[in-house]
Structure 1
Amino acid sequence: MHTLLRLARFGLAALVLAAIGQQLSLHAAHGLRFANFFSYFTVLSNLLAALVLVLGACTPARAERPWLSQLRFFSALNMAIVGLVFALLLRNLDVGLMQAWINRVLHYLMPVAVVLDWLLAPPAAPLARKALAKALVLPALYLLYTLLRGQLTGWYPYPFLNPAHVGGFGGVAAYAATIALGFVVLGSGLLAAAQGLAASKRMR
């Protein structure tokens, strides 16, 4: 099981890096801005997921430190949001230059795989209660960055963050609050599930 999990983690990390590399090359070939490419939450979350999967593959389960458990939780939560938001808000929109296999990897496969990785190999030691609060900091900073940059450049990575598409900043605030609630609900569920699964393993 441990060997298969390590191989799966390495394989998924390689796959997502190949997908993002291919997508980046498509952007470059069409003269699109690199800053825009790396302003997508999907891209940033998948890059983080690849890093965390490699770190997890290189670390024996019994030696997992609290900082790595926090990173794994953060990654699982981000990827769960990526999958959910895409399915509910973006699935029927034009994804531009994104090839079909890249779309499937970034928006379908990776969210499921990273959440399963969290559930199949939960941290042996429960995370502190403030783990969820910590996990919300970077998404909040991402939102602030996106809105400030959008005001300066006129470009937004997602239509629901563009005031011109959702009836002003009130519409943006409504979407942001709903997604924030999703972070809290999913984060609480992931933490509770991991603790329950880890406890059941200890009882075997």
Structure 2
Amino acid sequence: MNSTAGPPAWIRALRIAFGVFGIVALVWIPIENIGVAGYSEANYFSYFTIQSNIVGVVVLLVGGLRAPISRGWQLFRGAGTLYLVITGIIYALLLSNIDVQLGEHWTNTALHRVMPIVVLADWLLVPAAIKLSARLIGIWLIYPVLYGVYTLVRGPIVDWYPYPFIDPRHQGYLEMSWKLALMVVFFAILAAAVVALNGFLARFWRESRTHTS
């Protein structure tokens, strides 16, 4: 497939369908908790899972409704893919047995498993052939780093942290810091993998068209 020619209609339709699915999953918990004592919308939207899924929904809906082909948009697609891949992997490795306050089982599955797989599949099915570089990885990692800063600044103010690995109250700042540093390195490796896989498939589709033409 060729991203410069635009994706086929069936991919655009699936993007829209899963984008709407993502919206439903995102708004389900706030709607369900209207008027519930102790529920905090600010805390809900402070989860990396929620923020990354919002980006994923934007990627899918814009990609389905307009299907832009500019380099800037492809970079945004790649960033959204990375953030949802981070969400899916971190959940599977560190959070699957921990209550992350996402309510019903289906919303938890939708936001931690389904949406990361869908956005990654879209990224690989419609490759953008973005060149891998340290600068690109650095740009993509700005948001996760800023999210960490936001969480650590907000945490003491509201006495709440979204994830145990970024909560210094029980592990201390030193132990938490080296864990977070390792996570940033891991995220950089994931970013490189996201770009490399995309480039590999872009070459594969291009060579396939050459051989069949």
> Which deviations, in whole Å up to 9, do the C-alpha atoms of 1:92-148 show, x marking residues without a partner?
11233510110110011111111111111111x424622211110111111000000
State which of 61, 70, 73 in structure 2 corresponds to 1:65. 70
Distance, in Å, in 2 between the alignment partners of 1:6 and 1:29 is 37
The answer to whether structure 1 residue 43 and structure 2 residue 43 are counterparts is: no
| Percent identity (aligned) | 33
Q: 1:27 to 1:172 in 2, by over 3 A?
A: farther
State which of 85, 93, 97 in structure 1 corresponds to 2:90. 85
Amino acid at match of 1:193: L
The answer to whether structure 1 residue 135 and structure 2 residue 137 are counterparts is: no
The Cα shift of 1:199 comes to: 1.4
Instruction: Provide the residue aligned with 2:41 in structure 1.
Output: 34
Instruction: Provide the residue aligned with 1:187 in structure 2.
Output: 191
Structure 1 stretches of 4+ moved >4 Å:
none
Structure 1: gaps (5+ residues): none
Amino acid at match of 1:21: V
The Cα shift of 1:184 comes to: 0.8
Q: 1:81 to 1:97 in 2, by over 3 A?
A: closer
Amino acid at match of 1:176: L
Amino acid at match of 1:26: E
Instruction: Provide the residue aligned with 2:27 in structure 1.
Output: 21
Distance, in Å, in 2 between the alignment partners of 1:140 and 1:161 is 12
Amino acid at match of 2:158: T
The Cα shift of 1:182 comes to: 1.9
Contact 2:127–2:199 (CA<8 Å) still a contact in 1?
yes
Distance, in Å, in 1 between the alignment partners of 2:102 and 2:200 is 42
> Secondary structure of the residue that 1:28 maps to in structure 2?
coil
Amino acid at match of 2:140: A
Amino acid at match of 1:148: V
CA RMSD of aligned residues (A): 1.6
Instruction: Provide the residue aligned with 1:52 in structure 2.
Output: 59
The Cα shift of 1:151 comes to: 1.6
> Which deviations, in whole Å up to 9, do the C-alpha atoms of 1:158-199 show, x marking residues without a partner?
11111123x201222122122212211111011011111111
Distance, in Å, in 2 between the alignment partners of 1:86 and 1:29 is 29
Distance, in Å, in 1 between the alignment partners of 2:132 and 2:189 is 17
Instruction: Provide the residue aligned with 2:110 in structure 1.
Output: 105
Contact 1:27–1:34 (CA<8 Å) still a contact in 2?
no
The TM-score, its normalising length taken from structure 1, stands at: 0.92
Structure 2: gaps (5+ residues): 1-6
Amino acid at match of 2:23: L
Between Structure 1 and Structure 2, whose CA radius of gyration is higher? 2
Contact 1:46–1:110 (CA<8 Å) still a contact in 2?
yes
